[in-house]
Amino acid sequence: MCGITGFTGKEAALPFLLQGLEKLEYRGYDSAGVTLVDAKGLYTVKTKGRLKDLRELLANEHLPQTAGIGHTRWATHGVPSNLNSHPHTNAKNTISIVHNGIIENYASIKEELLRQGYPFVSETDSEVIVHLIDYYDKGDIFEALKKALRYLQGSFALCVVSTANPDTVYVAKKDSPMIVGHSSIGSFCASDIPAVLEYTKDIMTLEDGNLAVLKADGVELYDFAGNPLPQHWTHVPYDLQAAQKGGYDTFMEKEIHEQPHVIQETLRGRIVNDDISLNELDQLAFPWENLERVYFVACGTAYNASMFAQDLFRHHVPKIPSFALAASEFRYGSYYLSPNTLCIFVSQSGETADTLAALNRAKERGAKTLAIVNVLGSGLARKADVTLYTCAGPEIAVASTKAYTTQLVLLTCLVIKMSELLGVARENFKELIDNLKDMPKIVEDMLKEKDQVHEYAKLLADKHDAYFIGRKMDYFSVVEGALKLKEVSYIHADAYLAGELKHGPIALIDKGTVVIALATQADVAAKTISNIEETKARGAVVILITTSKQNTDKFNYVLRVPNISPYLMAIPVAVLLQLFAYYAAVIKGCDVDKPRNLAKSVTVE
């Protein structure tokens, strides 16, 4: 969630640190700070609030230091405050650290350090790190850091600077993302690639257990014991412009409108002669005839995509049990896992802590693992047996849009190919494949409805609640639609199975209540319409999304989707519901790209 930047080189460090933190604002934060270092000492400035508040504090300072670290914090241990903000320094003001993640055994470490006389000024788990390094510091920070790392349990992306080596930044990584970069002006580190793109496209993604030493003339890589490691560098194939708004008012709006293109890119090479091509599955070396069950595991929006995949797979291969499970529950549940189990992990960032922990559990139990991710070289991509990449490109807005629809597209391809490997005849998928080929154009047509959606979103201008209903595959769409609305507009939104309304939820419907109803599943559309009419009879204002085949004379607010396979309706519907959430948030004056309390990449459990 939090953002980290670090630099040492031949220029002033502060410009890089601040612009990098700005590029990482999408991750969510409630405080910000920097430490600059030179032979004279440490200079630390931090504050509760936004980056603009930090910039104001630094505005009149002359700060030529060529090494430093920066941080944006999303509160986990301790409330947002100046004292709880990072960086944290030791009492002698000779060592400073920034940290992403959770130190699970911080309480016991803190108890011992307090006995040793170390003063604590914050409520954070992170502060124990700087005092632990200080405890072991006998004149060699590298050795002190190695010793401290032995005692840290949990997750961390950690940067350290000290006055003893003012031209060096030390970086350690375990279960929290961190990349390093290098150019002619120096060496960099950051939580994510956008922070460094203005300075370099040559990056190295750190693995768990990596310890990097950044100097102006290069990067050294070690394991936690101090043994040198080989370095594997990647040239990033996209530029900073891909992370800019491109003429749109917000990143979310831009990313919604990028969906025709990114869906086309995700499908590139996946449909060959009307067949699905997923050659990566060969790497699994999986005996498909022995497959016992399938788990789709994810969090948030990716979990909603997983529910879609679960139902699609159940329809085509009912004999194999399949389940969509929240990653936060998977690692603690009593779920059957064996070498004949396939676990499919879905994540935009590939760094979601709960999903990574779930993958580790699956591998421990011998299950085969497959990841669907958007970020090249991410933790899930490196750890899974096989990885399939969506091609959504950088997604900056916190609320996922284009990553979600590309997940739906790629999951459809995966389910089709798995079904064929399990003996389902290819002709069963002709309509799905034809619809997939047309999907970029279908989504483009949905975007043309934005003005109508904008008008309907005005119905929520003075509302605090909204209700979404649907049946069968429409249910997963309304769950995602409700999530999107509450994420960005802060309107309380619930999603219900339409047939369950009469079993309790209809008690919430009153005059003027806004109900967003889906009726795209032909075999149950009539029943859904009947449920919708029940809400109208109680005074609800209904926005209906359905196909051209349905009679909608009784409804004032209607949006149409094309007559495609009911199993792919979720994609065009998603675009309409994303637009609806976006405009509702804009009308209410919300910060669409950075919703309160949320983060793009949830790297703590």
Structure tokens at 299: 């969090």
Query: Is residue 1 within 8 Å of 14, Cβ to Cβ?
Result: no
Pick the closest to residue 162 from 243, 69, 99 (CA basis): 69
Burial class (CB in 10 A: 0-12, 13-18, 19+), 209: middle
Active site annotation includes 159: no
Query: Is residue 158 within 8 Å of 209, Cβ to Cβ?
Result: no
DSSP for 535-571 reads: HHHTT-EEEEEEETTS--TT-SEEEEE-S--GGGTHH
DSSP H helices in 297-449: 300-316, 327-330, 353-364, 379-383, 402-421, 430-447
For the chain, the residue count is: 605
Sheet holding 293-298, edge to edge: 322-326, 293-298, 341-347, 368-373, 386-389
Query: Is residue 178 within 8 Å of 208, Cβ to Cβ?
Result: no
Query: Is residue 65 within 8 Å of 167, Cβ to Cβ?
Result: no
For residue 292, CA distances in Å to 322, 411, 484 come to 9, 19, 34
Q: Any bridge partners for residue 45, and if so which?
A: 34
For 135, the 3-state DSSP assignment is helix
Residues with Cβ within 8 Å of residue 416, at least 6 apart in sequence: 276, 316, 429, 432, 433
Catalytic residue among 2, 159, 189, 413: 2
Single-letter code of the amino acid located at 465? D
Query: Is residue 347 within 8 Å of 371, Cβ to Cβ?
Result: yes
How far apart are alpha carbons 99 and 315 in whole angstroms?
Answer: 45
- The DSSP letter of residue 206 is P
Phi, psi values for residue 516, rounded to 5°? -105, 115
How far apart are alpha carbons 459 and 417 in whole angstroms?
Answer: 43
How far apart are alpha carbons 567 and 351 in whole angstroms?
Answer: 29
Please report, in angstroms and rounded to a whole number, the separation of the first and last CA atoms in the chain: 11
Q: At what angle do helices 473-489 and 300-316 cross, to 10 degrees?
A: 170
Active site annotation includes 40: no
Single-letter code of the amino acid located at 244? Q
Structure tokens at 160: 């350290």
Catalytic residue among 46, 173, 383, 600: 600
For the annotated catalytic residues, the residue numbers are: 2, 600
